[in-house]
Structure 1
Amino acid sequence: MSVSLYYSARRPAPLTAAESAAVERVVTAHRAAFPYPDEEDLCLYADPGDGPEDVLAGSTKLPADPDRALPVITHVLDAVTGLRRALPGAAWHVHLDDLDVPWDEDGGYGFGDDGF
């Protein structure tokens, strides 16, 4: 059984050129530092959704190997935290299949004070 992490952002205004560049910087930095080149990493959809307010969406299928799953989740959530901070005013939904991932203004996305 596979588990995936999903992330999406909505807001009335489309991305500005500066925001698109900021998103690209986050994605590029994430991919350069991703620990497992043979696993799926941050994957943004070319078409973020059906509505005009859908500005960004993506998903990551997590590795079946538990020793790899936690580092991948942590790394991708760090990238999604960077994306959220690059897109002010967007409403975000981040979830691990049916489990919502909590947001902390200081720490970003994660599960509790100690991470997971």
Structure 2
Amino acid sequence: MSVSLYYSARRDEPLTDAETATVGRIAAARHASFPHPGEEGLHLYERGSDAAGQVLAGSTKLPRAPERVLPVIAHVLDSVTALRRALPGAAWHVHLDDLDVDWDEDEGYALPGMRDAGLLTELDGL
């Protein structure tokens, strides 16, 4: 059984050319800084015309190795945080399968404990 992180943004106005370029720059930078080769990082779907106003969407299949799950989640949520901040006025939905990931204006998207050094060390020992 796999677990995935899903992210999408909707708004009435389509992305501008400048926003599309910004999304591309953010995605490229986040791909370049992804620390786990062989695992899936930020994965944005190809955009087509969407009558429901979806301007961005993607998903990430999480690794099975316990020691990689939280670092991958943290990296992808940081990526989605950067994307959200670059697309004003969009309504975002970010969730880990059936669990919604809440937005915090200061921290962005995060799950409790995802940066806890003790937990990361414990998972690395599994």
- Indicate yes or no: 2:94 matched with 1:89: no
Secondary structure at the counterpart of residue 93 of structure 1 = strand
- Mapping 1:103-114, distance limit 5 Å: 103-112=103-112, 114=113
Please name the residue that 1:13 is paired with.
Answer: 13
Q: Judging changes above 3 Å, is the alpha-carbon distance between structure 1 residues 20 and 46 closer, same or farther for their aligned structure 2 residues?
A: same
Shift of 1:37: 1.4
* TM-score, normalization by structure 2: 0.86
Stretches of structure 1 that go unaligned for 5 or more consecutive residues are: none
Q: Distance in 2 between matches of 1:51 and 1:102?
A: 26
CA deviation vs aligned residue, 1:16-73 (integer Å, no higher than 9, x gap): 0111111011101100100111011111010367434110000000000010111000
* TM-score, normalization by structure 1: 0.93
- Count, aligned residues: 115
| Identity across the alignment (%) | 66
Q: Distance in 2 between matches of 1:36 and 1:66?
A: 13
In terms of Rg, which structure is larger? 2
- Mapping 1:1-116, distance limit 5 Å: 1-47=1-47, 50-112=50-112, 114-115=113-114
Please name the residue that 2:118 is paired with.
Answer: none
